[in-house]
Amino acid sequence: MKALWTSAEIAAAVGGTASADFPVSGVAYDSREVGPGDLFVALTGESTDGHRFVAQAFRQGAAGAIVSMPVEGPHILVADTTAALNALGAASRARTGARIIGVTGSVGKTGTKEALFAALDRAVPGKAHRSVKSYNNHVGVPLSLSRMPAETRFGVFEMGMNHAGELDALTRLVRPHVALVTAIAPAHSAFFSGEEAIADAKGEIFRGLEPGGTAIIPYDSPHRDRLIAAAEPHAAHILTFGRNKGADVRANEAVRGIAGTLVNATLPAGQLTFTIGLPGEHWVSNALAVLAAVEAAGGDLAAAGLALAEMAGLPGRGARRAIRLADGEALLIDESYNANPASMAATIRELGQEKATRRIALLGEMRELGEGSAGYHRALAQPLIDAGAGPVILVGEGMAPLAESLAGHAQVEHVPDAATAQGLLEQMLRPGDAVLVKGSNAIGLARVVQALAGEFA
């Protein structure tokens, strides 16, 4: 197998000095993720110093390390390991001839990134690359770039932000040929004056477009024109997607069936009929965005359609699990990774479509919503009522306005923490139930999902 990097290539990229010749097959900065053949980057932060874990990384099979002080074992010595990781990411981007797609948005960016990767990889197996997990910040993006093999044909990179200016820096590192915004919603509202400011921050992704690049924009968004204005100085082409007839990539029909949602779509290149394996109206929008990006990147639309039919939910983002009980099964819908008002409403609507004896919602509070937090939480009452949800378990102090709004409409349990919620849910679960688990990651609902899977599965 060809090495991802040699020590000489790394040293040249980061301006460091190699203590020995060695090849590496991967890159990691979290010592817990280091595997045989990896390069460990010892990042120094406010709360910890990666140099403390260099020996552990070597015990786990690391082939070498990037460090800012001499260590035992093969290494590249640099002045600043964070700057070195950025430099390695930039070198990776410079050496590839791949078509690069950047993805951002308030909701749907990780799922869309994964669907894009599946669509491109199906056409050129083993030649597509993407950022894993949610490595979408100032260290995750250069890490994901540095992991990209030189012979990659398509690279898909998720980029996130919670402050203005962050995407500007990330997109100039990624230098995408195609830049996609999935949707604008009130996420991280505590750091912005309103949705318009969020749209402006997301629009920064277009600033890094390569010459001749394409911007992909949600046509149905109220911020469409604002995003188009942000893209026009940087994009040679602008493609829109959505349900509205004015969109360049649009769904003419979307019919939900047993095997998924059957969609007939119009694209600049023609029409495509395909199935989306994942449920939910939001996945129709995501799929249209995927098709727009595949067409813009010169990918295979037929292969993309097949990949969308095969998509399954990701852990924390729509994965479905059967919970085996003593006398039957319940369905667990795992949306535990994160939450904002738009994604909460979308998944609650999807819960309402489930054929279930009861539709139980275990919801954690939504963080970083600023002064509008109470109103955003309160507004979830009507979607829950419309979905026929009940019992409803609400976790965290921020859920108080929703608990008050639901009083008299559903059985509501308002609890302080995830552990208490888990105990309640275990007591009330019955065969035939469908359970939606969703909340901001800091609430810890992923542990509830893990416990349910471990205890009952």
Residue 88 included in any domain = no
DSSP string, 352-420: TTS--S-EEEEEEPPPS-GGGHHHHHHTTHHHHHHTTEEEEEEESGGGHHHHHHHTTTS-EEEESSHHH
Kindly report the CATH number assigned to the domain that includes residue 262: 3.40.1190.10
Residue 282 included in any domain = yes
Residues 275 and 136 in one domain: yes
Residues 147 and 293 in one domain: yes
Q: Which of 50, 83, 116 is the last residue of a domain?
A: 83
Residues 109 and 73 in one domain: no
Residues 305 and 327 in one domain: no
Residues 122 and 261 in one domain: yes
Mean pLDDT of 24-47: 94
- Would you state the pLDDT for residue 190? 59
- Would you state the pLDDT for residue 457? 40
- Would you state the pLDDT for residue 132? 86
The highest-confidence range among 290-294, 372-376, 423-427, by mean pLDDT, is: 290-294
Residues 155 and 293 in one domain: yes
Residue 89 included in any domain = no
Q: Which of 290, 310, 330 is the last residue of a domain?
A: 310
Specify the higher pLDDT residue, 164 or 214: 214
Q: What is the number of helices (H) and of strands (E) in the chain?
A: 16, 22
- pLDDT tens for 131-168 read 987 788 999 999 999 999 999 999 999 999 878 899 99
Indicate the range of 113-117, 185-189, 322-326, 357-361 predicted with least confidence. Answer: 185-189
Cβ neighbors of 96 (< 8 A, separation 6 or more) are: 148, 150, 152, 155
Residue 90 included in any domain = no
Residues 325 and 229 in one domain: no
Residues 110 and 133 in one domain: yes
Residues 149 and 111 in one domain: yes
Residues 77 and 120 in one domain: no
Residues 152 and 275 in one domain: yes
Domain membership of residue 269 as a residue range: 96-310
Specify the higher pLDDT residue, 123 or 260: 123
Identify the three-state secondary structure at position 36. Answer: coil
Mean pLDDT of 25-39: 95
Kindly report the CATH number assigned to the domain that includes residue 349: 3.90.190.20
Kindly report the CATH number assigned to the domain that includes residue 72: 3.40.1390.10
> How many C-beta neighbours within 10 Å does residue 359 have?
25
Percent of the chain's residues with pLDDT above 90: 78
Residue 43 included in any domain = yes
Residue 449 included in any domain = yes
Residue 327 included in any domain = yes
Q: Which of 31, 56, 83 is the last residue of a domain?
A: 83
Count of domains observed in the chain: 3
Residue 91 included in any domain = no
- Would you state the pLDDT for residue 188? 57
Mean pLDDT of 234-259: 92
- Whether the per-residue pLDDT at 456 is higher than 50: the answer is no
- pLDDT tens for 262-318 read 999 999 989 999 999 888 788 999 999 999 999 999 999 999 999 999 988 778 888
DSSP string, 163-218: STTHHHHHHHHH--SEEEE-----SSGGGSSSHHHHHHHHGGGGGGPPTT-EEEEE
pLDDT band for position 454 (50/70/90)? low
pLDDT band for position 421 (50/70/90)? very high
Residues 376 and 274 in one domain: no
